[in-house]
Amino acid sequence: MNIMVCVKPAPDPKRWDSIQLDPVTKALRREGIPSVLGPLDKRALEEGLRLKEKHGGKVAAMAMAPPSARDNLVEALAMGADEAYLLSDRAFAGSDTWATSLVLSRGIQKAGKFDLVICGEWSLDGSTGHVGAQLAEFLEIPNVGRVVAVEIVEGESLRARSMVELGDRILDTSLPALITVTRETNTPRFTSLLGVIEAETKPCVSWSAADLGIRPEEVGFRGSPTQTGDIFMPEMKRKAEMLRGEPEGMITEILHKIRQAIG
Amino acid sequence: MDFQLSPQLELLRKSVREFAEGAITPKVQHMEETDEVPWDLYKEMAKQMYLGILIPKEFGGTGLGNLARMIMLEEIGRVSAAMAMATQIFHMGTASIADFGNDAQKKKYLPLLARGERLGTIAVTEATGGSDPTGIQTTAKLQGDSYVLNGRKCFITHGHVADTITIMAKTGEGPKGFSAFIVEKSFPGFKLGRKERKFGLHGCNTGEIVMENCVVPKENLLGNEGDGLKVSMATISEVGRAGMAGCGLGVINACLEASVKFANQRMLGGKSISQHQAIQWQISDMYMDLEASRLLAYRASWMRDQKMRCDTDMAMAKYYATEAAVRCAKKAVDVHGGYGYMMEYAVQRYYRDSEILIASAGTSEIQRIVMARKALTSFK
């Protein structure tokens, strides 16, 4: 059972207060803020590792990210992944979820044959939740979202319990397939010291746009159908207003003010 | 000269921090309130290979060494000095065998200690001798194929928890009249004495162990008869003192982080107290203590990894980092004002936990004697 886990290194949430917005380009300025694997990335990895422990095979980790994300992939190797792929090129900068999914799909196709692709349901930073489904479309394989439990049936197909609004559903699908996992899926393991030692000896491959046969206009800002309209820091202001009078009258006034505030 | 940690050590720090915050932090309050030993955490740490960090790979450890251990203790101590103390004492139990054991002893004990199936400690101190190990009175007499030990050890960290204990006893007279033995708690005549009540390090036991005609097989003698001082001094001065420095580093980290967080939130005169110079001075002193302690402790650990003589350097690191831990804990409580005295705030724990680091593995005065001895010969 060969499993590919796609991860998205994102700025460390502990340092989010240091992130600045570029007023002109509307891009996030994240210089000096280290990237980390998100909680859903780790759950995706954990699920892959558990399936490997049960059914054999290998687990690979892949990220489309700047070169510094190599450290995050080494972390995935230390957690137990067997190999890692970093898709990194200046041309990828500014890619929306569509272009990101395209790059990842090319990376997966180049990396070899995979029975299962696992992603977090959404990333730690953008949190769009688009990439899993779009990636499955590019790879032309079935996709099950919000998966909280998964089993491989007779080594050939996959049975997934997927969360829906008021409960969950059981879905069967053929392999290869793609699933996206949530916070409820599992509790990721801690990285052991043995994992730390072994990570250095495992392969971590880096591929550029040219390696993947991707033309610059297919990705980045130019290849992205979604263009950011505006990004701004919401202004958080506190204002105290004292009301006087009888409770009933004040309640009516409060309700009126709330209705006004929410439009 | 390169002060940058290797990518492997950076990853080690990150993974231990995740473990400390994810697995240890949720248990700290329970340990504080009950003083119970967190057996489940020890098992989990063993699974992560933390206990075999000083054990060579061929005997089931990771062999990552002393600098890696220092970073690990710093990260564990950052969330719980009691857990760091327990971890470092387990390491001391393994180091005495890894450094002085013969091949058979290493094969028998080290894999079990690395896997956490046995926990180790070391017992030197008695009511009549600790910093002066020649004052100890426990005796070991060879009778046939076994040594028979009689005596009482006190203030033994995790003496009531460990399964395998390196014990020093008198086998003759003079400095060469001491020997070290690997004693298992199941040996006949081995008993537990009183358990101490401490004002800090809750969840990390300290207690007496008693040997009443305790029968120890002859093959459990560590090194040769007469090597006792060498075994205990090397283990205490290089592994134990490093352990105390590591615990101290953890406490200093915790004090600085808690103080910065509180100082940024607490408002006084319309601005956060971190904007007041009086508080900034406290914070900057703590910051400098952290960096200075780190430099001394990392360097001494690195020297041990290079197999360089490092007893003076460890003494310096231990002295500085543990005194700094107490100093920073006091400052952290001060920065918190009245809140710092309340049990809801962790800084009171840092204050209580840090004090013992000075007395353990040789007081500050002992460290200064060690340093003076070197200085008086090096600078004449």
Is residue A10 in a domain? yes
pLDDT value for B100: 97
Which structure tokens are listed for A58? 């290998």
Structural domain harbouring A16: 2-218
Does residue A88 surpass a pLDDT of 90?
yes
Residues of A in contact with B68 (CB under 8 A): 193
Q: Read off the pLDDT of residues A32-79 as tens digits, 9 standing for 90 and up.
A: 888 999 999 999 999 999 999 999 999 999 999 999 999 999 999 999
Does residue B336 surpass a pLDDT of 90?
yes
Is residue A230 in a domain? no
Taking CB atoms and an 8 Å limit, are B15 and A191 in contact across chains? yes
Taking CB atoms and an 8 Å limit, are A78 and B19 in contact across chains? no
In the stretch 190-209 of chain A, residues with CB closer than 8 A to chain B read 190-197, 199-200
Is residue A253 in a domain? no
Q: Which of A190, A193, A195 sits opposite B64 (nearest CB)?
A: A193
| Mutation target among A193, A201, A204, A238 for the B interface, most CBs of B within 10 A | A193
Does residue A9 surpass a pLDDT of 80?
yes
Does residue A28 surpass a pLDDT of 90?
no
**How, if at all, do strands A157-164 and A167-174 pair?**
antiparallel
pLDDT value for A49: 98
Overall average pLDDT of the A174-178 stretch: 96
pLDDT value for A175: 95
- CATH of residue A64's domain is 3.40.50.620
Written as one letter, the residue type at B304 is R
| Cα of B10 to nearest chain A Cα, Å | 10
Q: How many CA atoms lie within 13 A of B349 on its CB side?
A: 22
Taking CB atoms and an 8 Å limit, are B64 and A197 in contact across chains? yes
CATH number given to B230-378: 1.20.140.10
pLDDT value for B134: 84
Is residue A256 in a domain? no
Is residue A49 in a domain? yes
| Mutation target among A36, A46, A196 for the B interface, most CBs of B within 10 A | A196
Q: Which of A71, A196, A200 sits opposite B15 (nearest CB)?
A: A196
What whole-number distance in Å separates Cα of residue A66 and Cα of residue B221?
57
* B132 — pLDDT class (breaks 50, 70, 90): confident
Is residue A239 in a domain? no
* B78 — pLDDT class (breaks 50, 70, 90): very high
**CATH assignment of B120-226, among 3.40.190.10, 3.30.1340.30, 2.40.110.10, 2.40.10.120:** 2.40.110.10
Taking CB atoms and an 8 Å limit, are B15 and A71 in contact across chains? no
pLDDT value for A234: 77
Q: Which of B15, B62, B68 sits opposite A78 (nearest CB)?
A: B15
Residues of A in contact with B53 (CB under 8 A): 193
Residues of A in contact with B23 (CB under 8 A): 190
The alpha carbon torsion through B223, B228, B230, B231 (nearest 10 deg) reads 70
Q: Read off the pLDDT of residues A103-140 as tens digits, 9 standing for 90 and up.
A: 999 999 999 999 999 999 999 888 889 999 999 999 99
Which residues are B120's β-sheet partners? B164
Q: Does domain B7-114 have CATH number 1.10.3720.10?
A: no
What whole-number distance in Å separates Cα of residue B208 and Cα of residue B89?
15
Mean pLDDT of chain B: 96
Hey, how many other C-beta atoms are within 10 angstroms of the C-beta on A83? 19
| Cα of A7 to nearest chain B Cα, Å | 18
What whole-number distance in Å separates Cα of residue A207 and Cα of residue B4?
28
Pick the range with the lowest mean pLDDT from A33-37, A210-214, B108-112. Answer: A33-37
Which residues are A161's β-sheet partners? A149, A170
Q: Does A231 touch chain B (CB under 8 A)?
A: no
User: Residue A25: which residues within 8 A CB-CB, separation 6 or more?
Assistant: none
Q: Is the dihedral of CA A72, B13, B308, B297 positive or negative?
A: positive
Q: Does B7 touch chain A (CB under 8 A)?
A: yes
Domains of chain A: total: 1
Taking CB atoms and an 8 Å limit, are B62 and A197 in contact across chains? yes
| Cα of A11 to nearest chain B Cα, Å | 15
pLDDT > 70 fraction of chain B, expressed in percent and rounded: 100
Q: Which of B10, B18, B48 sits opposite A193 (nearest CB)?
A: B48
Residues of A in contact with B7 (CB under 8 A): 71, 74, 200
Which residues are A58's β-sheet partners? A2
pLDDT value for B242: 98
Hey, how many other C-beta atoms are within 10 angstroms of the C-beta on B116? 19
Domain ranges of chain B: 7-114, 120-226, 230-378
Is residue A168 in a domain? yes
- Chain B residue with CA closest to A77: the answer is B11
Q: Does B53 touch chain A (CB under 8 A)?
A: yes
Is residue A104 in a domain? yes
pLDDT value for A197: 96
Overall average pLDDT of the A156-173 stretch: 93
Q: Does B8 touch chain A (CB under 8 A)?
A: yes
Mean pLDDT of chain A: 93
* A235 — pLDDT class (breaks 50, 70, 90): confident
Pick the range with the lowest mean pLDDT from A29-33, A92-96, B68-72, B113-117. Answer: A29-33
- Chain B residue with CA closest to A199: the answer is B8
